[in-house]
Structure 1
């Protein structure tokens, strides 16, 4: 993999939704200084993380808020 795609997550400040209780596993996100957003599995914090561009994350969050992913 090219260094162009390496993003240092060592100093990331990860957090879960306030709706997630301490006993439930959830995804965690981190807003990074470079404008990207990291996403990882809270039960495997040393595992891999996905990284999304800020615009992609904003579109995803807006779709959630609009109910686009609501199950019937």
Structure 2
């Protein structure tokens, strides 16, 4: 387990360098990502930058990106 717990207030991760996609709209509707270490990433909602951050391992993040790249989430029900 890393230094940070899931749900930590994102503004408490003071050394994070948050990055958001260039495709983010004018209202900041985007997910921001910060690499915390060689093996952990944090995610936060850019509309609520002080809100909770979700922490994922490198393997979890890579598995998600692989699924996105393969279109595994394209037909999710609403």
- What interval of TM-score do these two structures reach, taking the shorter chain for normalisation? 0.7 to 0.9
Structure 1 residue runs of 5 or longer lacking an equivalent are: none
TM-score (norm 2): 0.75
Structure with higher RCO (Cα < 8 A, 6+ apart): 2
Structure 2 residue runs of 5 or longer lacking an equivalent are: 5-11
Matches within 5 A, 1:41-60: 41-60=45-64
Change (3 A) 1:18 1:30: same
Please identify which structure carries the higher strand content. 2
For residue 6 of structure 1, report the CA deviation from its aligned partner: 4.3
**Equivalent residue in structure 2 for 1:36, among 40, 57, 64:** 40
What RMSD in Å do the two structures reach over aligned CA positions?
2.0
Deviations 1:11-62 (A, max 9, x none): 1011111222333411111111242010001011111100001000000001
Asked if the contact 2:31/2:44 (under 8 Å) is kept, the reply is yes
TM-score (norm 1): 0.80
For residue 5 of structure 1, report the CA deviation from its aligned partner: 5.9
